[in-house]
Structure 1
Amino acid sequence: MGFSTPMYDLSKYLEWTTNGNIQLPDFQRGYKWEDERIRSLLVTILRGHPLGIVMLLETGSDQVRFKPRPIEGAKVSPGTEPAFLLLDGQQRLTSLTQALTGNGVVATKDDRGKRLERRYFVHMATALEGEDRIDEALISVPADGVIRTNFGRDVLLDLSTTEKEQAEGYFPLRLLYEPVETLPWIFGCVESSIGRDFYSTIVTPASRYRIPAVELDSETGKSAVATVFEKVNTGGLQLTVFELLTAIFAGDKTHFDQTGTDFRLNDDWRDIQKSLSQYPVLGSVDNTDFLQVVTLLSTRNRNLRDRSTRPAAISAKREDTLKLKLGEYLEWRGPVRDAFQWAATFLADLHIFDVRFLPYPKQLVPLAAIRVVLGKDADLRGVKKRIVQWYWCGILGELYGGANETRFARDLDQVPAWATDKDDASQPKTVTDAGFLESRFYSLRTRNSAAYKGIYALLLGEGAKDWMLDKAFDKVQYTELKVDIHHIFPYQWCLENGIDAELRESIVNKTPLSAQTNRTIGGSAPSRYLAVIERKAQIDGSQLDELVATHAASSAAMRADDFDAHFAYRLDRLVELVENATGKTVQRDEADGAPTEMSNAFELENEIEVTMENELNVVLEGELF
């Protein structure tokens, strides 16, 4: 890899962008600068201040094959091959190309994101008053050259023709680098002396404006280009791993030699995404998740092949994803896609049906990787039981809430051997790390928590049935019945009876119910709404008691309106659910199950969501009678 640092006149850059000598690698994001930012850039040029460097990559390499596309707004003949690809400086050169060439119309937007077409002019007399007045002198006008006011009824300034520009003393910046047209425009000004002074003081220095470049030679490798591009791209948000790999894969010479086409990662991901979209629970899976699974599997393969004393580590880190070769991606993309689809059925078996109640979307990354490694063995009864245990330990132990790459790698290394009981493998660290305190039940209050969603799914999986309809919440009926989680002792009743807010909002006092049942419950005492359910559903008390029991709730406590007995009974049942799911003992609190530090456990940050849910419940009270 070699590079040079030449200086080029801005006029040369404009020549190259308009004739296609400079083009963009097509993985670059689109043009997005706002009107005011463009105006400020032009002020910088007229003042002669530096605007930073641009980075160019010389084309012609056998190793780096990026598909080019012209700078937006440039009229480049189809099929024109560039001499350089623009790696850094896209927003600046696109703005300058559109504003300073052709008709000078720039497709931009205002500070609220509204799309605009603008042209830029300099009031010559104001600009001649000194450098500090250039900012005031340079204006942005609509593409037709007319500034209107009073909702478009009155014309404030009309620069729609050359004659009007000259009469008003506004120089169009589209002519700044067009000397053949500039001089006749200057001589035609009404105030010819101002025109001549403006030409010598502003136009002539601007014509000599230069911009430094960092020019990478054609020997630069594709991984180096991606790394350099990532470090120097200052025109917007940092590029994602997916965007950088799009660039790397598009330049794969072996693939081009074999197929005659460049590999389009974007197109490939769209096909994969379409195949995953039929599963609502996979709605959060993005291209980075997919690439992380591929990276885990590729690095694991290297690890298994490496016979050295320090083999390559299994990894899902960004830097290792950027090292992926196209061949590795093509090897694993099919199995990984299938593994994500398998994960959707795995989650459905655990009564997790949609992304809203998916506890940890990122836990799908190691789950999919584990499925690829185990293949069909993942569905064997004993193997799947252990995978399920690992999955619940991750959720109820709340182990996937932060930086996860290290845990992903460890899971892939440890879970398959343990799940298949290979060589007496020890428990994975995710299982041994998992722990659950009884006091956590008091602070689980909204679906913002993974453990909250997990316990909700466990209740569904235990066979919870709707109290009004006597229907189990399977995948189909879950959607048809509009199932959500609701208070057992209603919010309004708890308010009226002085129930502590932490106990009222705890998941211990909440359960999945259909929208119809929730409307029937309203805000009344359990003893009252149970009677209403019996009447409306035409069932006797013992039948309803059996339905209530499927929710790990005490119908006796509910019929007595005894909140304390209800809470204590259900807390014990939920503890059992967690212990059965994780295979680990829940640490019980002291003093008859009261939380040890209730005030500290209370999730105040979720108060807004709780309030909104409760207000909705109050609104739905109307169907009680």
Structure 2
Amino acid sequence: MSTGLDNRPSATTYEVERLVQMAWKGQIRVPHFQRGFRWGREDVVRLFDSINRGYPVGSLLLWVRRAGAQHLALGPLKIEADEMEEALWVVDGQQRVISLASALHPQVGQDPRFALAYNLRDDKFIPLKPGVTEPHIIPLPVLFDLPRLLQWFSEFPEAAEYQEQAYRLTTVLRQHPVPAYLVKEENPEVLRDIFDRMNSYGKRLSRAEIFTALHAGDESEDTPNLRFGAISAEIDQRRAFGRIDEDTVNAAILARRGPDVYREIRSEFSTHSRRGTIDFPGEDRETAFQAGEKALLLAVEFLQQDAEIPHFTLLPYRYLLVVLTRVFGHFPNPDATNRRLLRRWLWRAARLGPEVSRGSTTGAVRQLCGKVRPDSLTGSVQDLLKTVARDEPPLPDVRRFRTNEAAAKIVLCSWWALKPRDPSSAEPFDTGQLAEAIADQSTVADAVRYIFAPGTVPDSQRSWAANRLLVPTMTREEGKTIGEVLATPPLFADEDDEWEATLRSHLVMPGDLPLLRDGRISDFLERRQETLLLHLEDFLDQMCEWDFEDTPPINDLVIEDLADEGDDGTL
């Protein structure tokens, strides 16, 4: 049992400029027992807004101890850190330190959580739009670096009226004080105890956080990728699939290793694990994480390429990704027939939801992972299909459209399969644009827009899917609704078929346009709702294939020898 600190903490204050410089040089480290980075873009914006207003941003608790040379990851930052006798390990304040170091760094512009700018005209922090340069909107790394800021105003003299405001903000950002307590303590268990006490009151640790704390290893180990957040970020960077939450990544890695993802995890890498619970006995942490990441990536590729599910926020149920990771963890290269059958199972399971196990998602993931046996791909897929062998359920209700519900996600996947086009350019949207629109949000809401303002729609139709469009990004005249944009072909539409293809990609039929132009909102929504239902039924028929036999690959069919067959093949 811990007896407390040998030395009382000392208090100091760091200005933001010094704090981020120390972080960039690798002097600030994150202990393995720390939770992963959990803030979203809005949290980072609020932090900088507090600094601008002169508000306190909380104190840090830093553990002063030796650190070896390390390939260090601070959020999206990759740092080659030298060995040093007195590094600062963040026991409390990780979210703030990573946010400051990342948002102010000149090379982290691709991560939407930290790609921020300051709008001098509106006097507020905003997301930075890639490829868009406006003189009065200054990226934070430029605002933080005085020589670069001077160069900015040299290149954009039309923004001279904002110079004094920008210089003031630069000073505020660089000099804002951040109080810190420094603890010198050799026993890491004492720091774990402090961390637990500071982060447990009122909010239980998630299973992923417990797993990380239990199996983080020693600080001397160079294992920055043995974190669920790092795996999620890597997959998002490679596939633009969005950030998979850490509990789902944790469950996926556990599922690959054994069918019960809710097993006791304290002895996960022990040689004394109970027989039958682990499919890869003797596998160490690093191998497990690397193989788990590979399997999860293959599962994501399957979702995007085979199943028409482009983004994590459009996955009807997260546990389906966990089951797929187990499949691809054991069978990384399924044949074409089993891939199609796997897609059939996935969409049938998405239609049925947790009903496959009496409404319990815990029971569903246990049951489904248990069907995946390491010795047979075909047998596993056939057993999965048996779990959804029941009558075809009704279509999802398009009269109630909520982007956080499975029914709406299924509807949106059917829309994505049409390769929706940008109404302002007729160019099809890609997964990168979809991911950029969603950023770090937990739902796809930011990529789904109203055709008509809700206040102009009859109450009975206000929640209908027919009044929504999947449009990740679009430039249009200010003050115009999307309905008004759709009613009038833009200048690019020189040929009728080009504009018609754009409308059809959003399930707006040419015959619906007079209703739009005449302002007959209710009639238009009635017509489009019928079109949506017909398309949804067709999409799900293709994905679920309820009327097809679940015949396995011909090579796996067992043809028994005929009894009493003669040597010449005759009876």
| Length-normalised TM-score, structure 1 | 0.45
Structure whose CA Rg is larger: 1
Greater per-residue helix proportion = 1
TM-score normalised according to structure 2 size: 0.49
